[in-house]
Amino acid sequence: MRPKCPTCGAGFRGGAECGRCGTDLRGLSAILLAAREERESARLALRAGDGEEACRRARRSLELHDDPAGHRLHVLALLSAGRLREAVALLAVVCRPAE
Ligand SMILES: [Zn+2]
């Protein structure tokens, strides 16, 4: 899901406030940064061969920001951890066409 201003729905483009309505978006920025850091930690865990840690980090990133790239990373992490059944189930959800 693409982040939006909670007040007016304008697409989030970074920054401390909404360019359209002036709402303070520092909280949203902090959440998105934390999600990005969790995804990076998941990638590092994958490279280190620690699939379970990659799963934890990828899942945490999705709790913070639900986006397609995060789901793909979570699938990779599940595969790395040998959790094939969960990876296939998640792929079925991620690859479902938008309604
Ligand atoms: Zn706004």
- Where would I find the H helices in 1-99? 26-47, 51-64, 68-80, 84-94
Predicted confidence at residue 65, as pLDDT, reads 95
Which residues have their alpha-adjacent CB atom under 5 A from ion ligand 1? Answer: 5, 7-8, 10, 18, 20-21, 23
Predicted confidence at residue 1, as pLDDT, reads 73
* pLDDT tens digits, 26-51: 999 999 999 999 999 999 999 999 99
Q: Give residue 66 CA to ligand 1 midpoint distance, Å.
A: 20
* Largest distance between two CA atoms of the chain: 47
How do the domains of the chain map onto residue ranges?
Answer: 35-94
Q: Give residue 12 CA to ligand 1 midpoint distance, Å.
A: 8
Predicted confidence at residue 73, as pLDDT, reads 95
* pLDDT tens digits, 64-74: 999 888 999 99
Q: Give residue 4 CA to ligand 1 midpoint distance, Å.
A: 8
Per-residue pLDDT, averaged over 69-87, amounts to: 95
CB atoms closer than 10 angstroms to residue 6:
13
Query: Which two structure tokens, joined as six digits, stand for 54?
Result: 């990659």
C-beta separation of 21 from 10 below 8 A: yes
Give pTM, 2 decimals. Answer: 0.84
